[in-house]
């Protein structure tokens, strides 16, 4: 019977090609826009480590001076080196890791590769088991390596492919900033997004290429990256020193279960009390312990305009759905005679309703396929944008299934709404309210009477106009914000900037050979300011 209804649907589509095409396009546009923004939102708001996100916690304590303190304000996002080292040594959690971002220079042994810079992470050994890092070869370093400032490193799969052609490089030497390090592990496909463990060095994209013990990085004076906040009444000669009053270290702990969070919070409060008694802390107890998703929500990882774009796209989908309902109404009114004949021949309402559902499902399927193409084009456009999450905007299997599910639900809801509409069962309009006086042809009462007789059509038009106005106004608001950011003055005399490039001098074997000298002027210098030769 379903196959028979499907053939009837195809026959109906051929009789109403334009109407069918309009319904397919309306659904496709709504699905394409909504799935594009929904996929971006899914990428940005997803759980980066769902298997244990409720057991990983970011630690915040407040070591700052009492100057300017306001009750209830948030403590610093990071810890001082003294506090991080102290908490790490007390080992009150199942696992704990102190870390910071950095940058190193790799000096390959191969003559075909020149030295290059890459991102690094300076951390403690629990980092890898805590964040479920997958290894292609080897493993992370041990706790004794942290204590002994061992010259060891874990590298990424990408760096291993570049330096060692993808072979097992465990035990091989690697020159980092002029120091020889031993590779103890090679990470596999491990790319948590967003980088919840350190949002200061970039929220999305690939993870760092080199991981070294924190103590080793400090001893070898590796460059660090990320934010740093110094406080107190004196200038710090070395802001990364063991007793410096600067917060710059991220600190994460893993607990046995989420229920231990209250106990660990009490431990942090006791630690704060001890430091206050010792004279280091001046403010009252102000600690925070947030799990992964709470931390991402606190840091507002999902941009506000992405949320607004999602609501706008869903509103646009609703507008397209309303248009589809209107088109189905028009088609249903055209077929009222056919339906009456079928009813006279004994067809039940259920059979007619089933036929209509199959027709709507077929239209929805066609619209979903076209909408999928539009969604892929939209995601391709997103990937061309200069944002750090752009390359993550891809349609995975879960979102692909959601596309067709949303399509079928939208089309079936449109058909169900059409079946409940009064115009399909309405009586012919009465002439009792029409005025025969030519002077009252534009009287408002006949218009209101018509609207009362066609409530559904009038409601659809009003709702569509309201949603369209809301979408256009919010879209203009987003565009205005972007234009305002683009036109914001930088505070630099950009018209007078000059870029200078100087090439190096050396033989072909010199690793750091640079291109020839290049001068690029944005504007010419006045003659009076040109230096004499």
Tell me what pLDDT residue 11 has.
Answer: 73
Q: Which two tokens stand for residue 450?
A: 């018509």
Tell me what pLDDT residue 428 has.
Answer: 40
Tell me what pLDDT residue 80 has.
Answer: 93
- Distance between CA atoms of residues 483 and 259, nearest Å: 47
Burial class (CB in 10 A: 0-12, 13-18, 19+), 79: buried
Tell me what pLDDT residue 497 has.
Answer: 74
High-pLDDT (> 90) share of the chain, %: 31
Range with lowest mean pLDDT among 314-318, 351-355, 457-461? 457-461
Tell me what pLDDT residue 239 has.
Answer: 85
Q: Which of 152, 277, 267, 147 is nearest to 215 (CA)?
A: 147
Q: Which residue has the higher pLDDT, 488 or 436?
A: 488
Tell me what pLDDT residue 516 has.
Answer: 41
- Distance between CA atoms of residues 397 and 395, nearest Å: 7
Does residue 513 surpass a pLDDT of 50? Answer: no
What would the mean pLDDT of 370-378 be, rounded to a whole number?
83
Does residue 441 surpass a pLDDT of 50? Answer: no
Q: Band of the pLDDT at 460, cuts 50, 70, 90?
A: low
Pinpoint the alpha helices (H) of 428-454. Answer: 444-453
Contacts of 433 (CB under 8 A, 6+ apart): 445, 446, 449
β-bridge pairing 179-187 and 152-155: parallel
Question: For 111-163, what is each residue's pLDDT tens digit?
Answer: 788 999 999 999 999 999 999 999 999 999 998 999 999 999 999 999 999 99
Question: For 164-187, what is each residue's pLDDT tens digit?
Answer: 999 999 999 999 999 999 999 999
Tell me what pLDDT residue 203 has.
Answer: 77
Range with lowest mean pLDDT among 151-160, 257-266, 339-348? 339-348
Q: Where are the beta strands (DSSP E) in 54-207?
A: 56-60, 79-80, 95-107, 116-123, 135-138, 152-155, 173-176, 179-187
High-pLDDT (> 70) share of the chain, %: 68
- Distance between CA atoms of residues 295 and 361, nearest Å: 42
Does residue 261 surpass a pLDDT of 50? Answer: yes
- Distance between CA atoms of residues 13 and 49, nearest Å: 48
Tell me what pLDDT residue 71 has.
Answer: 83
* Helix (H), strand (E) at residue 319: helix 304-334
Pinpoint the alpha helices (H) of 335-454. Answer: 336-344, 349-383, 397-419, 444-453
Does residue 435 surpass a pLDDT of 70? Answer: no
Q: Tell me the β-bridge partners of 377.
A: none
- Distance between CA atoms of residues 341 and 95, nearest Å: 75
Range with lowest mean pLDDT among 34-48, 70-84, 471-485? 471-485
Given a contact cutoff of 8 angstroms between Cβ atoms, the answer to whether 27 and 371 are in contact is: yes
Tell me what pLDDT residue 251 has.
Answer: 96
**CA dihedral in degrees (142, 143, 144, 150; nearest 10)?**
70
Average pLDDT, the chain: 77
Tell me what pLDDT residue 438 has.
Answer: 46
Does residue 85 surpass a pLDDT of 90? Answer: yes
- Distance between CA atoms of residues 374 and 377, nearest Å: 5
Tell me what pLDDT residue 268 has.
Answer: 95
Q: Band of the pLDDT at 464, cuts 50, 70, 90?
A: low
Given a contact cutoff of 8 angstroms between Cβ atoms, the answer to whether 300 and 84 are in contact is: no
pTM exceeds cut of 0.85: no
| DSSP code at position 527 | G
Tell me what pLDDT residue 344 has.
Answer: 75
Q: Which residue has the higher pLDDT, 38 or 285?
A: 285
Q: Band of the pLDDT at 72, cuts 50, 70, 90?
A: confident
Given a contact cutoff of 8 angstroms between Cβ atoms, the answer to whether 231 and 252 are in contact is: no
């Amino acid at each position: 019977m379903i196959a028979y209804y499907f053939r009837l649907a195809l026959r109906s589509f051929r009789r109403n090609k334009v109407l069918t095409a309009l319904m397919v396009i309306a659904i496709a546009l709504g699905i394409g826009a909504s799935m594009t923004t929904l996929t971006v939102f899914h990428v940005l708001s997803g759980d980066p480590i769902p298997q244990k996100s409720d057991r990983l916690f970011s630690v915040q304590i407040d070591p700052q001076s009492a100057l300017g303190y306001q009750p209830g304000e948030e403590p610093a996002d990071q810890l001082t080196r003294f506090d991080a080292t102290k908490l790490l040594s007390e080992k009150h959690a199942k696992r704990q890791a102190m870390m910071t971002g950095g940058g190193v220079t790799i000096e390959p042994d191969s003559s075909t590769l020149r030295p290059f810079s890459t991102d690094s992470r300076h951390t403690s050994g629990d980092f890898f088991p805590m964040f479920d890092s997958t290894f292609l070869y080897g493993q992370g370093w041990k706790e004794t390596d942290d204590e002994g400032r061992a010259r060891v490193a874990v590298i990424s799969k990408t760096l291993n492919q570049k330096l060692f052609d993808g072979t097992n490089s465990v035990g091989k030497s690697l020159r980092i900033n002029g120091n020889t390090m031993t590779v103890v592990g090679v990470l596999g496909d491990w790319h948590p997004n967003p980088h919840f463990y350190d949002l200061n060095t970039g929220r999305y994209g690939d993870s760092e290429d080199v991981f070294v013990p924190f103590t080793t990085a400090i001893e070898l004076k590796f460059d660090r990256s990320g934010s740093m906040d110094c406080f107190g009444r004196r200038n710090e000669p070395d802001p990364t020193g063991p007793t410096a009053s600067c917060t710059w270290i991220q600190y994460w702990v893993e607990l046995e279960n989420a229920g231990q969070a209250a106990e660990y919070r009490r431990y942090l409060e006791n630690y704060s009390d001890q430091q206050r008694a010792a004279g280091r802390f001046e403010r009252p107890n102000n600690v925070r312990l947030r799990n992964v998703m709470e931390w991402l929500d606190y840091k507002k990882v999902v941009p506000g305009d992405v949320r607004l774009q999602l609501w706008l796209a869903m509103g646009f989908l609703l507008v397209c759905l309303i248009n589809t309902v209107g088109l189905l109404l028009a088609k249903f009114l055209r077929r009222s005679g056919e339906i009456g004949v079928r009813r006279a021949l004994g067809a039940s309402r259920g059979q007619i309703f089933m036929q209509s559902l199959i027709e709507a499902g077929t239209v929805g399927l066609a619209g979903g396929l076209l909408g999928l193409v539009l969604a892929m084009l939209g995601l391709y456009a997103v990937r061309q944008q200069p944002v750090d999450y752009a390359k993550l905007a891809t349609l995975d299997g879960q979102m692909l299934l959601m596309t067709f599910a949303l399509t079928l639900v939208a089309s079936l809801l449109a058909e169900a709404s059409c079946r409940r509409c009064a115009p399909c069962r309405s009586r012919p309009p009465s002439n009792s309210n029409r005025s025969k006086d030519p002077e009252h042809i534009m009287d408002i009462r006949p218009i209101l009477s018509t609207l009362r007789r066609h409530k559904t059509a009038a409601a659809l038009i009003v709702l569509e106009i309201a949603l369209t106005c809301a979408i256009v106004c919010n879209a203009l608001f987003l565009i205005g914000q972007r234009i305002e950011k683009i036109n914001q003055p930088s505070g630099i005399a950009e018209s007078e900037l000059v870029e200078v490039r100087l090439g190096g001098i050396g033989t072909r074997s010199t690793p750091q050979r640079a291109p020839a000298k290049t001068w690029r002027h944005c504007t010419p210098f006045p003659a009076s300011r040109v230096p004499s030769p």
